Amino acid sequence: MTDSTRTLVMIPTYQERENIGLILDRLHAAFPQAHALVVDDGSPDGTADLAEQRASVDPRVHVLRRTQKQGLGAAYIAAMRWGLERGYDVLVEMDADGSHPPETLPAMVAALDGPGRPGLVIGSRWVDGGSVVDWPKSREALSRAGNGYARLALGISVHDATAGFRAYRAELLRRIPLDDIVSHGYCFQVDMTLRVLDAGATIEEVPIQFREREYGESKMSRSIVIEAMLKVTQWGFERRILRRSR
């Protein structure tokens, strides 16, 4: 990617007032030319108000207000549509809580021009050089096991299919039927991974250090984990049946 490449970093928020200013500071220190779209799901703590104050003095910051909490997947789909309509070349998914290191983003965007010109670059915890910080062993074991199950059930080679730090080529997203996606949480990320591969694109994983949030509460819930496991199992069966019918 060149200096003229237009990159949009999509940042979904809900109750992230303590974090949003910090992550925007880190993003623009690491990647000054990137634009940021804060997608807020009606946070009662004033997250969107704070983001709009920032946007009023920084043309690189934009805010998309949504009236109610509709889930991570819906927020990203709305952000992708917003970015595609405005002609961005690269669309990035990144959490607001600081767990995804924006300092790695220039390398991720550059990797889109690497061998094979991947359509998606994932900031991965589970490839060589990747790591997690301040996670309990039980959570690390759950994430590793979940990703291992996804590789086995779906027949894919991606090590971190549930990762939420991603850089997509806009031209690839235009080929994916975004209206058909109804998944949420981790399930949304696995769904998008499959759709990227089914669109004929390749995926590269760049190692990152994932750090647990310092402020606020995690949005992870048991229902999100259960949804992901059930959906992965369903998709695995469907893909096997499809292969046998060919």
pLDDT tens column, 69-79: 888 999 999 99
**Assigned domain for 196 exists:** yes
pLDDT at 5: 82
- DSSP alpha helix (H) spans, 120-179: 137-154, 170-173
**Assigned domain for 200 exists:** yes
**Assigned domain for 180 exists:** yes
**Assigned domain for 195 exists:** yes
Q: Is the pLDDT of residue 242 over 80?
A: no
- Count of the separate structural domains present in the chain: 1
Lowest mean pLDDT among 43-47, 85-89, 143-147: 143-147
Range of the domain at 162: 7-245
SS3 content of the chain, % helix, strand, coil (to 5): 45, 15, 35
CB 236 within 8 A of CB 89: no
CB 164 within 8 A of CB 207: no
**Assigned domain for 29 exists:** yes
CB 120 within 8 A of CB 172: yes
pLDDT at 241: 74
For 147-187, the pLDDT digits (tens) are: 999 999 999 999 999 999 999 999 999 999 999 998 876 78
Beta bridge partners, 57, equal: none
Of the candidates 82, 73, 97, the residue with the CA atom closest to the CA atom of residue 16? 97
CA–CA distance, 52 with 234 (Å, rounded to integer): 41
pLDDT at 84: 98
Average model confidence (pLDDT) for the chain?
A: 92
For 173-222, the pLDDT digits (tens) are: 999 999 999 887 678 999 999 999 999 999 999 999 999 866 555 555 56
Contacts of 66 (CB under 8 A, 6+ apart): 39, 40, 41, 42, 75, 78
pLDDT at 36: 99
Mean pLDDT of 2-26: 93
pLDDT at 139: 86
> What 3-state DSSP class applies to 60?
coil
CA distances from 20 to 52, 133, 146, 233 (A): 11, 20, 29, 35
CB 66 within 8 A of CB 36: no
**Assigned domain for 64 exists:** yes
Q: Where are the beta strands (DSSP E) in the chain?
A: 7-13, 35-40, 61-65, 90-93, 120-124, 131-133, 166-169, 203-207, 209-211
CA–CA distance, 32 with 3 (Å, rounded to integer): 11
Of the candidates 220, 221, 216, the residue with the CA atom closest to the CA atom of residue 17? 216
Q: What is the percent of the chain where pLDDT is above 70? A: 91
The CATH number of the domain holding residue 37 is 3.90.550.10
Of the spans 81-85, 115-119, 142-146, 177-181, which averages the highest pLDDT?
A: 81-85
Q: Is the pLDDT of residue 26 over 70?
A: yes
Local confidence band at 35 (pLDDT 50, 70, 90 cut-offs): very high
**Assigned domain for 51 exists:** yes
CA distances from 193 to 29, 180, 227 (A): 29, 14, 16
**Assigned domain for 1 exists:** no
pLDDT at 219: 52
